[in-house]
A and B are shown apart, each in its own frame.
Chain A
Amino acid sequence: MKSYDIVIVGGGPAGLAAAIAAKEAGNDSILILERDKELGGILNQCIHNGFGLHTFKEELTGPEYADRFKQKVFELGIDYKLGTMVMNIEGDRTVTAMNREDGMFTIPAKAVILAMGCRERSRGALNIPGYRPAGIFSAGTAQRLVNIEGYMPGKEVVILGSGDIGLIMARRMTLEGAKVKLVAELMPYSGGLKRNIVQCLDDYDIPLKLSHTVVDIEGKEHIEAVTIAEVGPDRKPIPGTEERYTCDTLLLSCGLIPENELSLSAGIEMNAVTGGPTVNESLETNIPGIFACGNVLHVHDLVDYVSEEAKRAGYNAAKYIESGCRAGNTSGNIEVVAESGARYTVPKTIDTGRMEDLLTVRFRVGDVYKDSFVSVYFDDERVMHNKKRIMSPGEMEQIVLKKDELVKRSGLKKIVVRIEGE
């Protein structure tokens, strides 16, 4: 097997953007490993529009958005292997992968970029009681069946969870002639984007019941009905609120989980909140030369942000190699802390010596906040206090830090992001 400087695990939006950025930063030895039959990742089944508003200033479908990046990868002559599963990543950046043509092979890479994406939380992990019949799908699986394979799972649909894929599928199934009876959401707020609630539910008169969940599934062979109940503040069903809905399909859109089994085997430190690696300003993990971006790092709402983030990972990987694989200060000199309302930040640490002039710090909030402030503290001093009309857990937030302001403050140890009422 040919050796490569940079091996990118995953050829979805993150992997493609990282590859392009690494190439444009001057590295000519890049390999993308993709497990599916083509590049583009989950975008290939996202045939709705709304992608690329930030990146290209136009509305593209998922396949169109992916295609822009794929064409660039082809133009730049970046190597890639399809149908190839990465089996293992060692802490020394040795990548073991497998496919039909090459068999099992190892590549001792100088840098690895993790771009494996995420998976959907399954019915099993949700502990929904009842039978286990056919007709229950995670929303993304149903999306693949409908949009790629061309088959309808059913005609009478209930959706549990209001994540973006579930919302998109509510509209998609409706357009394909199904009756979507209800979207039930356990939390008192939706996990999806506001625009998707408007465009996918409201526009089609599909009811969204917040603080509701599925408490029973009927049907021994094929699903026949579900029972929905309201939940209290403890998220436990309230007896007496049960309502039965007949259905032949139950879709689940109850959260996405970064797929970090490979990262764990490499010994990469994880952030318990995001389920992704803990990274520094270069999107580098605790292992020098292993970078992470996209949904494997933290689940994004917009692919434009994935592309932007992945670009930084690719650029930084190229620079790491250019510097002779000099292991920098991976744990940085400044800690970034999320507090009171802010659930996490990416990155978690900053080395001012390595940061670019502007650094985007992304985070999510843990609840719905109206007319509240995103505040940033340098140690104990508040340096940013931006009012936001609304913030919700389904939408990612960000702040931009300026290198010169951080450098000016010698001895700065901690940057705190807080959500404040006033």
Chain B
Amino acid sequence: MYDVIIIGAGVSGAAVAWQLSQYDIKTCVLEKCDDVCEGTSKANSAIIHAGYDAAEGSLMAKLNVRGNEMMDKLCEDLDIPFKRIGSLVVCIHKEELPGLKTLYDRGIKNGVKGLKILSKEEALSMEPNLSDDTEGALFAPSAGIVCPFELNMGMAEVAAVNGTEFKFNTEVKDIKKSDDGNWHISTNNGEYVTKLVVNAAGVYADVIHNMVSANKIHITERRGDYCLLDKQVGGYVNHIIFPQPTALGKGVLVAPTVHGNMIVGPTAIDTEDKEATNTKAEGINELIEKAGNHIKKLPMNKVITSFAGLRAHEDGHEFIIKEIEDAPGFIDCAGIESPGLTSSPAIGEMVCDIAKSLLPMKKKDEIITTRKAVRRTEGLSAEEMNALIKENPAYGNIICRCESITEGEIIDSIHRPLGAKSLDGVKRRTRAGMGRCQAGFCMPRTMEILSRELGIDYEDITKSGGKSNIVLERTKGEVR
């Protein structure tokens, strides 16, 4: 019997867990995948938005601005890479210049600080690789870039060390309210009973919601294709560069990542398939074409990987965060599309407030509020490195050459709260395999470490849980 069950260990579910874990209640997170951060949270622009896009007075606007404000402290407390590098919305058609003013005015009303409309000259002096067609730009200094994996994992890990349970590979099949007023959640892993349910199921939030409510909601999976470029060109732009927004979204952005790569994307293509994270040639071609409109000679020959994510676009284009009228004790956290990542800590706060109004809870006497990410060796001096290697020689052994990730870091990623169980789990926690060779060299070596540290056979090592096994069987020549 739980007080609160959160469905989904993406960034929203993790944020709710992070907030609730301060209280003396029994909380559990159910996640259908093998790890946290497996859906929309892992495949997005990794941008902390300033907050001028969302409609004035909307929940999106409010939580965006609040989430942005919370980000500095959160990222410091949870050791999450975050850089407030600022964004530029670039106008390349003179007749569209009034659009910048519209965004500016909306941003002011939404409470965004520091907005400024720049002339062509000002914009180009800040960002020399902008197109020569630039007519002006809206500068938002409070926008930033973050590691979305760390943001998600950081909040989840803190929740876990504060006592929140996480059940992975646990998919919700049905939810029923029993006569005693509790929710009974059927999963492939047995039944869970709880007083409150938080629906943070991302693109599946409509399915989960519709299990309990007569007032149906509908989510469209809006696919976004992305390209990630080599670190060699990571400094090609120094701010987040947006085109002017359209009805379909904020358009194809170009931005540095916190790890020094450059990201280009997303497209916006509506699908009706919750698993359709496959990239399409049209999508990649569209990126190449569109991103070049605002940036001079974008080095698209430096792509190291491409991927696609699905935005959970609810028909009303607004966050749905509330207790459902016809399902008391069931709290929706649905329609969390952009600016969902930015808003996540504020979403956690808001859901926590709703839960507090429904369930008596008080703060625990002792709460862990900080967390350290995997100890990184990048940027350490020779002295620091040598001290570390003396203490633990595994830090002297480079496994991923492209990103210079050591065996020590990989071992750390495995033996930590909610530790890595798969190659992708290691990759998202350490960056091993995320570089230009895309794990060509380090995959077998990371497999060796996973096998040894987790005591599992090679055949049982997966890319990311489920049926994503890397190898099938021993070669026929092998003698056991």
Contacts and interface: CB of A to CB of B under 8 A. Distances in A.
Nearest to B407: A100
What range describes how many residues of B lie at the interface? 35 or more
A221 B444 contact: no
A420 interface: no
A35 B401 contact: yes
B394 interface: yes
Contacts of B437: 119-120, 122
Interface string B294-307: 00000000011111
B396 A103 contact: yes
Contacts of A98: 385, 389, 396, 398
A76 interface: no
Interface residues of A, number: 55
Interface stretch (B48-56, B367-375, B463-471): B463-471
B21 interface: no
Contacts of B402: 261
B398 A129 contact: no
A256 to B, nearest CB: 11
A253 B140 CA distance: 45
Interface in B342-372: none
Nearest to A105: B382
A145 B444 contact: yes
A119 B304 contact: no
Nearest to A133: B468
B401 A134 contact: no
A414 B471 CA distance: 53
A2 B463 CA distance: 42
B386 interface: yes
A405 to B, nearest CB: 40
A287 interface: no
Contacts of B465: 221
Interface in A237-291: 237, 248, 261, 264
Contacts of A129: 278-281, 283-284, 306
Nearest to A83: B397
A103 B386 contact: yes
Contacts, number: 152
A120 B442 CA distance: 13
Interface string A330-356: 000000000000000000000000000
A101 B436 CA distance: 28
Contact of A99 (B390, B397, B436, B459): B397
A104 B385 contact: yes
A133 B382 CA distance: 38
Contacts of B463: 133-134, 221
Contacts of B440: 119-120, 122, 138, 140-141
A264 B398 CA distance: 20
Given A35-B401, A124-B305, A132-B307, A152 B279 contact: no
Nearest to A223: B468
A323 to B, nearest CB: 32
B462 A134 contact: yes
B438 interface: yes
A118 B469 CA distance: 27
A385 interface: no
10 contacts: A98-B398, A102-B396, A104-B382, A104-B396, A119-B441, A122-B304, A127-B306, A129-B306, A134-B467, A134-B468
Interface of B: 227-228, 232, 275, 277-281, 283-284, 303-307, 382, 385-386, 389-390, 393-394, 396-398, 401-402, 404, 436-441, 443-444, 447-448, 458-459, 462-478
Interface of A: 35, 83, 85, 87, 96, 98-104, 106, 119-120, 122-125, 127, 129-135, 137-138, 140-141, 144-146, 148-155, 176-177, 215-218, 220-222, 237, 248, 261, 264
Complex A-B, nearest 10 residue pairs according to Cβ-Cβ distance, in ascending order: A124-B305, A122-B438, A134-B463, A151-B471, A134-B468, A100-B393, A103-B386, A85-B398, A100-B396, A103-B389
Given A120-B440, A125-B305, A125-B436, 19 more contacts: A35-B401, A87-B404, A104-B385, A120-B437, A125-B304, A127-B284, A130-B278, A131-B278, A134-B463, A140-B440, A141-B439, A150-B478, A151-B475, A152-B474, A153-B472, A177-B476, A217-B278, A221-B468, A261-B402
